[in-house]
Structure 1
Amino acid sequence: MKNANAKKQILLALVAFLTLPMVALNCQPAQAIISDPGVIDQLQKRKAALQTREFYLMRDTDDLLRKKEDIRRNNDADAPTQLNEVCRKIDAKAWELQQVRLDIRDVNTRLL
């Protein structure tokens, strides 16, 4: 009897060991730690807003990079001044984009 009972215990432990990771991987990560739906909703809205802002910043940066290349190609008399101004704007957009990406990372961390 003891041998059959021990085998049963080992089998149950093995089944639990194999099924627990599957259950843990299939549940929503935000709901596993944060149980308040209002907080989850607020974090998801914040993430969506940050991703939209990231998209527009990337688009603006691409436009500025194209403008920078146009200024280099045209090589007008006022090109150095325009180039400096565009480079400053690119740097500002890059810094802002980095901050937005850090904020997205923070929100993702809170959702996990």
Structure 2
Amino acid sequence: ARADEPAASPKLVRLIAKHDRINALLNASGGDSGIDYPKGLIRAAGAMRARLLGFPSRGLPDILAKAACMARLYPLADLEEELNSKVASGHAYIDEVALGIALDLMKLGEGTLCA
């Protein structure tokens, strides 16, 4: 974060750090190699994502920190490709609209705290 930017809420920063640690354990558990992910880690990751989602953002720094966290889970290029195909089809559901807003925030948040 730049010195003149307000910081994300310290509690949110701690939640994101805990989420990232759990996600790193999940990724290291071998799920990408065809081995099933440990159910306990899946539950822990889902619970942390729910806590992040439920954290009451107090302003743009908190929203951008959440978006940066999401960008680590959902690569921007993949999300952009998926949304571009929806745009090209001429039809999008509310989920795609929400993901489009999230993509904009992820791009805006690149290089900020927690990115």
Q: TM-score, normalised by structure 2?
A: 0.37
Q: TM-score, normalised by structure 1?
A: 0.38
Give the greater-gyration-radius structure (CA): 1
Please identify which structure carries the higher helix content: 1
